[in-house]
Amino acid sequence: MNKNLHLLTSVALFFLCAGIFTSVSILSIYQVLIVIPIIWVWKLKLSEKNLSLPKSSYWLLLFFGVALFSLIMNFDLVPKPSKNFGRLKYFLYGVGMIPVLQLWVSEASEKTKKILFQTFCLSIVVAFAYAVNYMITTGLPRATGLTDTMRYGYGSGMIHLTLLSAILHREKFSSWFNPKIAIVTFVLGFLGMYLTYTRGALLGFLCGLPFVLYFYKRSLGIWLGGLAVLGVLTLGGFYLFGSGNYNSRFLTNKSNSSDVIRRSQWKAAMIATQEKPILGWGLSNFHSQLARIKNQYDLDAKDYNDAHSHNLFLEISSGTGLIGLFVFLLWLFTWAYEAFKMGGLVRALIVPFGVAFVVSSQFEVTFDANNASMIFFLYALSFFNLNQKIQPAA
């Protein structure tokens, strides 16, 4: 990678690190700038016949194709085509960034990596400060981050597992990783997530935590992971059998109004899939059929016409059909296998993140602009050593 392209990649990554938890506008600068390095590196790799991609990337490209075709087939039913077609870019970023990061990581200086890491940590601290200030100034019981409650809560639940794992494996990093800064960031970021009282995010975190601990020390993972499982079962017990008359939102039962709405969204998404099971209604276009389905099938919460199904997998099936869901799951399972097989830091940092992603995606569509950018960047980064021989898992 020549000097100018390397610098442009570093600048783009700076805006990514600064924007994930603070601003979609800042994040959009990354999305624009990174296109040039992607095109340049791919052109170079293809001309040299030296392009190496993991198997999961081919499934992701196939899912991109299915999603694109679903939008073309339903074009007349999509209210804002530019918005839906624009969401396709995240899948291309996931694949496109793989060879870019292979070159960038090997060439970037410790100073550059340090600046990016500290920028990301600072953005989390700023987001936490805003969330706390929001609660104080508004008097509302739930914190709202700079990127709204759900985006902030779910994104925090996933990435702080990776950050915690990095802290535990800090001796494997070079000088750019500052454990003291990472610990402060983790504590404040976790507290910020907790104050959003986002139950799906906390559940995803608790489910991913045993994997963090297990990959650090097996015995610690088993014992403390057992406590995490006990915590999940306790919350589940309150949810299924509790009276709901508690001060904590984490102890609400299944009859609360929020979950009545969420279940109505799930049912509507399943009906939408049944109506168009092959290619669905178009990527992220379930919302255009929501009001009709709720009235036609007499579902609850008819006045709640949110833009998504509150479940990533139901959103994908209703938008791209069972074909799209099948291909998407193949991508996800293949990535999980590849991350586990690579072992070392990749397994320790990525697998817990993936567990939280899968679990929390049962309650929210986690492919919003901020979290989709984060998810597919980590996907690409997990293959930074793709050209090296993969060592078998220990």
For residue 391, what pLDDT is reported? 37
Confidence band of 392 (pLDDT split at 50, 70, 90)? very low
Range with the poorest average pLDDT among 52-61, 294-303, 372-381: 294-303
Residue 375 lies in a domain: yes
How does pLDDT run across 320-355, given as a tens digit for each residue? 999 999 999 999 999 999 999 998 999 999 999 999
Residue 262 lies in a domain: yes
Contacts of 224 (CB under 8 A, 6+ apart): 209, 210, 213
Residue 15 lies in a domain: yes
- For residues 102-107, average pLDDT: 91
Confidence band of 300 (pLDDT split at 50, 70, 90)? confident
Residue 259 lies in a domain: yes
Asked if the model's pLDDT at residue 37 lies above 90, the reply is yes
Percent of the chain whose pLDDT exceeds 70: 91
For residue 225, what pLDDT is reported? 75
Nearest to 256 by CA among 239, 236, 268: 239
Q: Which residue has the higher pLDDT, 394 or 39?
A: 39
Residue 278 lies in a domain: no
CA–CA distances in Å: residue 222 to residues 13, 210, 331: 36, 7, 29
For residue 127, what pLDDT is reported? 96
Residue 392 lies in a domain: no
For residue 245, what pLDDT is reported? 53
Number of domains comprising the chain: 1
Percent of the chain whose pLDDT exceeds 90: 75
For residue 231, what pLDDT is reported? 73
Q: Give the amino acid at 232.
A: V
Asked if the model's pLDDT at residue 367 lies above 90, the reply is yes
How does pLDDT run across 56-88, given as a tens digit for each residue? 999 999 999 999 999 999 999 999 999 999 999
Using CA atoms in the order 332, 334, 340, 343, what is the torsion angle rounded to 10 degrees?
Answer: -120
Confidence band of 141 (pLDDT split at 50, 70, 90)? confident
In angstroms, the CA 50 to CA 75 distance is: 37
Residue 373 lies in a domain: yes
For residue 308, what pLDDT is reported? 85
Residue 285 lies in a domain: no
In angstroms, the CA 370 to CA 19 distance is: 8
For residue 162, what pLDDT is reported? 97
How does pLDDT run across 225-284, given as a tens digit for each residue? 777 777 777 766 666 656 555 555 555 666 566 778 889 999 999 999 999 999 999 999
Asked if the model's pLDDT at residue 151 lies above 50, the reply is yes
Token code pair at residue 377:
């960047």
In angstroms, the CA 390 to CA 55 distance is: 14
Whether pTM > 0.95 for this model: the answer is no
Long-range contacts of 240-245 (CB under 8 A, 24+ apart): none
Asked if the model's pLDDT at residue 390 lies above 70, the reply is no
Task: Tell me which residue range forms the domain holding 314.
Answer: 3-77+89-266+292-381
For residue 348, what pLDDT is reported? 95
